[in-house]
Structure 1
Amino acid sequence: MIGRLHGTLVEKKPPWLMIDVGGVGYEIEASMNTFMALPDTGETVRLFTHLTIREDAHLLFGFAREQERELFRALVKVNGIGPKLALAILSGMDEDAFIRCVMDDDIKALTRLPGVGRKTAERLVIEMRDRFPHWQNQAAPATAMENMPTTSGTSSRRDTLADAEAALVSLGYKPAEAARMLSGLDDGQTTEALIKSALARKLSS
């Protein structure tokens, strides 16, 4: 099991990134919350990881905080929730927000997440109550979104929008819906910031 990686961030294209560790490049899929906490490429990064082994692939998922990885591991134990959907859930809201939704029976908020219908939301509320990690009652840490870097991207505005739309689609949103989520947003932002704004708009609608 690969539990943590410490190396140089060489590429980030949401929801994928690559870390060079001793000359070996590890491809990792991460939530948008984790992406907001990443430094610029070329800088050192440390991520907690979870390895999923399938017959056709070894999939590595990365998390900026150990608490996020714990919640990911709890989510994939729920019937019908695979790694991709768990990552989409964690991209739409941080750990604290998810816990509040479950404890408050907020089915409506959960169904705003991609791939989460009413039945899945109800299952999450029922099954996750007893699966929260030990830190559920601790004070919430600052979310990765709140600590998002403010550095500007180097790609063109069109490429930034295209990358943001592709990332939203990879999270489970339909292309037309992803385009609507990005419509009217400031395209001078970085890809990560655009995705953050689009997700915030979706969850508040």
Structure 2
Amino acid sequence: MNQRSRLNLLVVQILIVSLIVALFGRLFYLQIAAGPKYRDAALSIQSRDVVSPAIRGLIVDSSGVPLALNKVGLAITIDRIAIDKQPDKGVEVLQRLSKLLKLQYADVYRNTRLCGELPKGQKAGCWTGSRYQPIPITKEADPDIALQIVERSDQFPGVDAQPIAIRNYPGVAGVNGAHVLGYVGPLTESDLA
């Protein structure tokens, strides 16, 4: 080989080695040096599924009189994931919320805990669902209070107000039709005792 072709080969080799070094340097920076920053950024934008129950249809008799219908309620809900991310695990937010709703703090706290998280004697009123679902604190909130919560979301992180459908059995001739139509409801305190 002549001198010129050796020089060209050396330049190509240096170029390839420098590209590989640059690639591994960048890989080291992204994975090791700035890894925690990018990991936190990825975790903050993760999406999750929030299951909202479908609105049940009307049940009417042969003449069109409703036997079961839905009424609209305003639910104040807690997002357990957002509450648990607070420095004090949401104690201050729950105290503020209980004062606004005129409820006892202990009851609000117990309502936001999963039944497996509470001691055996305190399970009444605990949340029987998943921690990833919005936990209802009240299902018939005053619209003014719900508006305060939505407007001051910085003071109530993880708390939301949303309309929900509540099943209503008006009955015919003073007789409630729930025993004929079937009734499915949430667990009550007596069910858990």
Which structure has the larger Rg? 2
TM exceeds 0.5? no
Higher relative contact order (CA 8 A, sep 6+): 2
Q: Could you tell me the TM-score, scaled by structure 2's length?
A: 0.26
